[in-house]
Amino acid sequence: MNLYDDYDQLNRENYNSFPFYGADRIQAYRLLERELKQYQGVSLESALEGKFIENTGGACIKVESVQSLQLPEFNQEGVRKDIASNLTLLYGVGVNEEIKLRIEGFENLYDLCDHPKWSVEAQKLLKLIEKADLNNLFYAINRWYSQNHPLNLTLGKLLKPEEFIYFDIETLGLSYKPVIVIGLAEYKNFQLNTYQYVVTNINEESSVLHCFKEHLEGKSAMVTYNGKNFDVPYVKERFNRYGIKPFQETPNFDLLFFTRKAWRNTMPNCKLGTVEKYQLDIDRKEDIPGALVPDFYYTYYTKGNPGPLRTIVEHNRQDIISMVYILYKLWREWC
């Protein structure tokens, strides 16, 4: 039986319904034509430079890449002092109370450890900072500040680079459609390692979900781009569809919120590609717009040609690598 004969008809709907026209679309389809010619008759493993793996969810292709990268570790004492200088982290301390306390000589939470009223709460918060308890620190910050406040991003400096997982998905639609690629990046031993799990058969989508879950083990936080509104809830829905036990969520540093706050007045918009161009000096000369990922995947799936799928994988890999550089640029220049 041909691999592509079992394609679910429901997944073919609305592939050309995206309001996306112009030169970018023309360029994307020229790229598609070249990929089809170049990879005609080439095996999936060769085209993607990956290998098939199997688990309880089925089979998928795993694509790995490594690049040398030295990420800085922040002075933990300095970061803790920076966070502790925000007196309004204390529940009940508003702007007026903070001004009053500073006039009295209390500059940070350490100073308040001897305060007759605020000592107990100050000590509790300092313990959270010392343990890098991000969940409770996020809660303390967001009682007063919005989720795009620089202090929220500063919390990430309490962690080591190895404790983050960078995460991005490619899908066949905006909701209730299969995930086709899950891309992940991890930092270890001065190297950035990317892992991409690629669905080659729609009926085995759950395979990549199991792979994703394994990578979350031992991680303290995830980094996404619009992941709070899209990637994380999307994957949760797919887990639920297959009856897979929910994954343990970690604090999510969604870079879209912070780029909007930091750079929205310096760029036309805050799409990832725009941020790459204006902040990282990266211009993807040959890339597939996200809106056309379903079209490319459908072409791969029906023709049995791995070229379009290779293009999707390359697009996804650049997304997750760019997130690493955006995070550190924000830390270096903004908070």
C-alpha separations of 130 from 75, 153, 163, 219 in Å: 13, 17, 16, 18
Locate tokens 């039986």: which residue? Answer: 1
Low-confidence ranges of the chain (pLDDT < 50): 1-20
Three-class secondary structure of residue 179 per DSSP: strand
In a domain, 95, yes or no: yes
**Whether residues 210 and 167 fall in one domain:** yes
**Whether residues 271 and 225 fall in one domain:** yes
- Classify residue 26 by burial, with Cβ atoms within 10 Å: 0-12, 13-18, 19+: exposed
What's residue 22's pLDDT?
66
Q: What is the DSSP letter of 48?
A: H
**Whether residues 118 and 173 fall in one domain:** no
In a domain, 155, yes or no: no
Q: Which of 116, 149, 182 is the last residue of a domain?
A: 149
Q: Which of 235, 229, 243 is nearest to 212 (CA)?
A: 235
What's residue 13's pLDDT?
41
**Whether residues 130 and 276 fall in one domain:** no
Partners of 165 in the beta sheet?
222
**Whether residues 66 and 132 fall in one domain:** no
Phi/psi region, residue 281 (left: phi>0; alpha: psi -120 to 50; beta: rest), is left
In a domain, 154, yes or no: no
Domain count, the chain: 2
Domain of 166, in residue numbers: 3-71+160-333
Strands of the sheet containing 252-254, edge to edge, are 51-55, 58-68, 191-198, 179-188, 164-171, 221-224, 252-254
**Whether residues 142 and 11 fall in one domain:** no
Q: Which of 149, 170, 200 is the last residue of a domain?
A: 149
In a domain, 267, yes or no: yes
**Whether residues 199 and 89 fall in one domain:** no
> What token pair was written down for 55?
């688990």
**Whether residues 60 and 92 fall in one domain:** no
C-alpha separations of 66 from 189, 256, 279, 317, 327 in Å: 11, 25, 23, 11, 19
**Whether residues 64 and 123 fall in one domain:** no
**Whether residues 177 and 273 fall in one domain:** yes
What's residue 21's pLDDT?
53
Q: Which of 149, 184, 205 is the last residue of a domain?
A: 149
User: Around Cβ 106, how many Cβ atoms within 10 Å?
Assistant: 19
- Classify residue 72 by burial, with Cβ atoms within 10 Å: 0-12, 13-18, 19+: exposed
In a domain, 323, yes or no: yes
> What token pair was written down for 236?
């949760």
Locate tokens 């959270």: which residue? Answer: 128
**Whether residues 138 and 49 fall in one domain:** no
What's residue 174's pLDDT?
85
Partners of 179 in the beta sheet?
171
Q: Which of 101, 132, 133, 138 is nearest to 118 (CA)?
A: 101
In a domain, 11, yes or no: yes
H helices of the chain, in order, are: 23-38, 44-48, 76-84, 95-103, 119-131, 134-142, 150-154, 206-216, 232-242, 255-263, 272-275, 293-303, 307-333
**CATH number of the domain residue 256 falls in:** 3.30.420.10
> What token pair was written down for 300?
């791969």
**Whether residues 290 and 174 fall in one domain:** yes
CB 187 within 8 A of CB 161: yes
